Amino acid sequence: MNRLLQFALLSLAASPMLAQAVAPSRAATDPSARLAYRSGEVIVKYRAGMKVQATDTLRASQGQRAEARYFDGRFERLKLTSVVDVPGALKMLATDPAVEYAEPNFLRRPMAAIPNDPLFSRQWGLRNTGQANFVDGGPAGTAGADMNLVNAWDSTGTGLADRTGRGNVTIAIIDDGFETSHPDLVGNMVSGYDFADNDSDPSPTSPEGSHGTAVAGAAAARGNNGIGIAGTAWNEKIMPLRFAYDVASELRALDFARINGARIVNASFGGPTYSRAERDAIAALNNDGILLVTSAGNQDSNIDISGASYPANYALPNVIAVAATNRQDGIASFSAYGSTTVPVAAPGLQIVTTTLGGGYTDGGINGTSFSSPYVAGVAALIRDYHPSATVSEVKARLIESGQAGLDPSNPANLRTAAGRIDADRALDLPPRPSLVIRPVQASSYTVAYDSGTVDVPVLVPATVEDGANGNGSLDPGETTSLRVTVENLWLAASNVRATLTASGAGVTVNSGTALLGTLGAGGTQAVDFQVQVPANVSGHQYLTFSLALSADGGYTATRRFIMEIGKLALGGAATAQSFAPSLYDEFHTWSFDVSSLRAGSNRLIVQSTGGTDVDIFVRYGEPAQYNIDLDADVPTTEGDPEPFYFVNVPEAQRGDAADNGDETISIEAPRLGTYYVTVVNFDRSPGASYTLRATVENTPPPLGSGGGGGGAVPPALLAMLLSAALLRRRKAVR
């Protein structure tokens, strides 16, 4: 034993009173921490009403002084000189009858693992202390609005980083290229491949190819190495896979990841088109126990409804889509979301991470592209410290760690299934059920390709069976059967109960509490709720539905989803405020019914007018899908330079894209049934409004043409016409 440590132990044990006083602390029971105190100082507590005789003598003989006194003089911090050390002073003070006890001035430290990386203080997503915004005038952060990584890294609460990854899990990152020699990444890199250039070097080929390097740093940059930043998983492995941003090279990368031992795949990319090949390849990863973490998208839309962000929109058990949160724990203004399609959220605004040239995005970088690897890193820690965890358990731990149950009014908790994740909670959760609302197939449509047709599912929060006119909408004055499917991801749940409530427009749910019975891991159960919409509802409105779930053993969860009411009378007009006070109000969907058509030629005209720049989209049978990426500037197939992507499905038409709100769509020979109009706001002008109209213009059939669809000339009228014709002929002959 070290002689100094031995002397300190003997000195502190000399007085039973002292030993008793310090016994409850870790410093008294753990010899390795016994010397964790400030040298040259002791703390003294005096007995009530006692004089400080010995202390006065000590000061007089050795020049000691009281630095501070507290609690009416009962406590004192005594500053020592070089004549006596802390153990010697404690021994001397123990003989003073005025002293109740004396002890070292023990040091304290944050009970969380704080890495020594110099830029860590700017990584608010990992530890939010209320840091200032990187943009002048921008709001500061909210302390605690982070993923709670500093506690996750410290499993014992002693301030020691003992849970930062052991290198047992490989995260495959499919992206645009990687600086594999970056000082903060090189120690975690394993062999990858370039599927764009077909070689073994996945380095970027231009300075613009920095995205993959930034994604890799968010997931697994080396922490506590004295340089740069820390990733969420300091020591897990990164498999860099460069691809050509197409499905063919993506499939090769997914297969490489599968064959070479990746347990997590990060996909910080997406597109508006469904790919059967992409879906089937990701499903194959599930068979090998591989979780795919993907960005929800930057199109600022509810992809529960738009259904145009893949791979986020694939309803596969091994896909987890991630929305972006801001410094205040809300959904970032650019982020896609969807309370049934997007399970979780993570920081994605002003992210400090690695970039090319051995550098860092010190000013921050934005996007769900960086929320996704944050979650992928946490998923890797779960798989490392819970090695038997299945894909479903990893997904459930992330979901059950979320903040949705704490503040239902928070946009992140309303617009994702679980809200922002908590890494510490995800790692420490005991086994439990995990009940979520499962997206279901409401309908399908056909997309024509050169090679044939593909039946593409549309994912929405619930299947609506309309009791009044069967149009699939929530319409004023109707009672509707709303079917919701519940899925259990983890431990079996018994006696599952579900209660649905609605908020907004006076809508009521009349079904009470539904009993779903027992749901095993992976089990699903559909339940119908009767929803009544008041007849006097007008304009466009969002409805928030909350499904309160419970099961035996104390499990509870509330899952939410959003639906719209927007009834437009054919031949009439409706006016709505243009998306003003909310960041999450960029799209309004209306519906109208064509219940009859007159004989002759018919043309459906849908128009919008207004002072703000809106576009309109019309589709028969169900709302048009849309994908508007605020950070992109890629022309569409029509050469439109606007940052806009639109899924080219039958019956979906776009307005003429005027710079103002005056848009027109003309549809020849409309069908009987329901049409949907989606209004998209491009300039977010507060307080502006738009007006929407839908009319059918009719051109009667020519006389004698026979018409169609009830347009035949009646026999009596035909006789009159023939008689008049004969009379005119006789007059002409004369």
Active site residues: 175, 211, 369
Per residue, the 3-state secondary structure of 400-467, as one string, reads HCCCCCCCCCCHHHHHCCCCECCHHHHHHCCCCCCEEECCEEEEEEEEEECCEEEEEEEEECCEEEEC
- Pairing between strand 237-242 and 170-175? parallel
H or E segment at 75? strand 75-79
362 vs 138: CA distance, rounded Å? 16
Tokens 């609302």, residue located:
437
Q: Tokens for 321?
A: 């889509």
Burial of 363 (0-12, 13-18, 19+ CB in 10 A): exposed
Contact (CB, 8 A) for 530 and 480: yes
665 vs 162: CA distance, rounded Å? 61
401 vs 379: CA distance, rounded Å? 12
Closest by alpha carbon to 261, among 232, 235, 241?
241
Angle made by CA atoms 582, 218, 264, in degrees to the nearest 5 = 100
H or E segment at 480? strand 479-488
CB atoms within 10 A of CB 657: 14
Closest by alpha carbon to 670, among 566, 591, 574, 598?
598
Q: Compute CA distances 625 → 587, 654, 712, whole Å.
A: 11, 11, 40
Q: Is 137 left (phi over 0), alpha (psi -120 to 50) or beta?
A: left
380 vs 126: CA distance, rounded Å? 16
Residues contacting 71, CB < 8 A, separation 6+: none
Angle, helices 276-287/247-259, rounded to nearest 10 degrees: 10
Backbone dihedral angles phi then psi of residue 716, each to the nearest 5 degrees: -65, -45
413 vs 345: CA distance, rounded Å? 9
CA neighbours closer than 13 Å in the CB half-sphere of residue 273: 16
647 vs 626: CA distance, rounded Å? 6
